[in-house]
Amino acid sequence: MSAFFGDSGSDCRTNEGVSPLKVRTTQKRRIIADVAARVGMWGATLMVMIPIFLIFYYIAKKGLPTMDWEFLTQSQPFSMRARGGGFVHGLIGTLIMVGLAALISVPLGVLGAIYLVEYGKGRPLAQVVRFFSDVMTGVPSVFVGLFVYTALVIPYGFGAVMGAAALAIIMLPIVVRSSEEMLKLVPRELKEASYALGAGKWQTITRVVLPTAAPGITTGVMLAVARAAGETAPLILTALGSLEIVTKMVGEPIASLPVLVFTGARNPFPAGQERAWAGALELLLLVLVFTLLARIASSRNKLQQ
């Protein structure tokens, strides 16, 4: 009986010395805290999703009436007053410049993140790279455009390579910092197991660390691509723009969707504004498709492993 009532005998206690009433109170408190946390989480998610859906709905409402087959396959007419035509030249230019920028920034960014996480711990160079990556993430993109204009456009002229260089500079710090955070999340036990099996450091990085962090790295890369695809100011200073399809890389201005949307939105003619809304919707769908394809590819890669 003493084991049940305790030494004092004044209250009913379990063998562990905790009263059933206190246990029930603690359980109720945990249930309430869990429900409150879930409600807060879903409420915050809903608050974030509402403006996203409203933006998408408004752009779709304005752009869908103009986005037809002609818009997707024709170039913009020379007169802003004229109806018809489309932004196919801007789509091609955006794909070229963003693709070139990704080819430059993604490998360099991932390699930089690998250095910061695996090789540069505590080294001054790693601190410098991390510092400048943080600084470059917040630099206004127009300054990047001015730098590329001074370094490349003045001596060589406008072109796709110049626009891609500006976009690559914008994408690089985003890829570095996001990839670094994802690589830090890889469990140390996986690395130690790889080393125990006789794998070298680089084999562990390529066969264990990178595949494990691939979904997160993919998300960071797509954030960088989305940021680059929507940039306007640096492309005005480096690619300038065109009303025709251009495939020449250097020495000839090339069109891009953001610049065409910007130009159409600021003109006073309804036809140009309608094309601008359709171009904004096209750009939004382009980024969405790329993001979905990247997530599907990373998910399949993860399942195969």
Residues 178-221 have pLDDT tens digits of: 999 999 999 999 888 988 888 888 999 999 999 889 888 988 89
How do residues 265-282 score in pLDDT, each as one tens digit? 998 999 999 999 999 999
pLDDT of residue 296: 79
For the full predicted model, state whether its pTM sits above 0.95. Answer: no
Model confidence at 75: pLDDT above 50: yes
Mean of pLDDT values over 121-126: 86
- Residues written for the chain: 305
**Best CA proximity match to 220, nearest among 282, 286, 168, 173:** 173
- Identify the pLDDT of residue 253: 95
Residue 301, pLDDT score: 57
Q: Is the pLDDT of residue 15 over 80?
A: no
Cβ-based neighbour number of residue 262 at 10 Å: 18
CATH superfamily of this structure's domain 69-304? MetI-like (1.10.3720.10)
Rounded mean pLDDT, 10-31:
68
Q: What is the pLDDT of residue 1?
A: 42
Closest CA to 242 of 228, 229, 258, 260: 260
Whether 285 has a pLDDT exceeding 50, the answer reads: yes
Report, as an integer, the average pLDDT of 9-34: 70
pLDDT of residue 10: 44
Contact 239, 51 (CB under 8 A): no
Written in H, E and C, the secondary structure of the chain is CHHHHCCCCCCCCCCCCCCHHHHHHHHHHHHHHHHHHHHHHHHHHHHHHHHHHHHHHHHHHHHCCCCCHHHHHCCCCCCCCCCCCCCHHHHHHHHHHHHHHHHHHHHHHHHHHHHHHHHCCCCHHHHHHHHHHHHHHCCCHHHHHHHHHHHHHHHHCCCHHHHHHHHHHHHHHHHHHHHHHHHHCCCHHHHHHHHHCCCCHHHHHHHHHHHHHHHHHHHHHHHHHHHHHCCCHHHHHHCCCCCCCCCCCCCCCCCCHHHHHHHHHCCCCHHHHHHHHHHHHHHHHHHHHHHHHHHHHHHHHHHHC
pLDDT of residue 304: 55
* Section 152-157 average pLDDT: 94
How does the average pLDDT of the chain come out, rounded? 88
CA 186 to chain centre: 20
3 vs 205 pLDDT, higher one: 205
Distance from CA of residue 104 to its chain's centroid?
Answer: 16
Q: What pLDDT band is residue 6 in, cutting at 50, 70 and 90?
A: very low
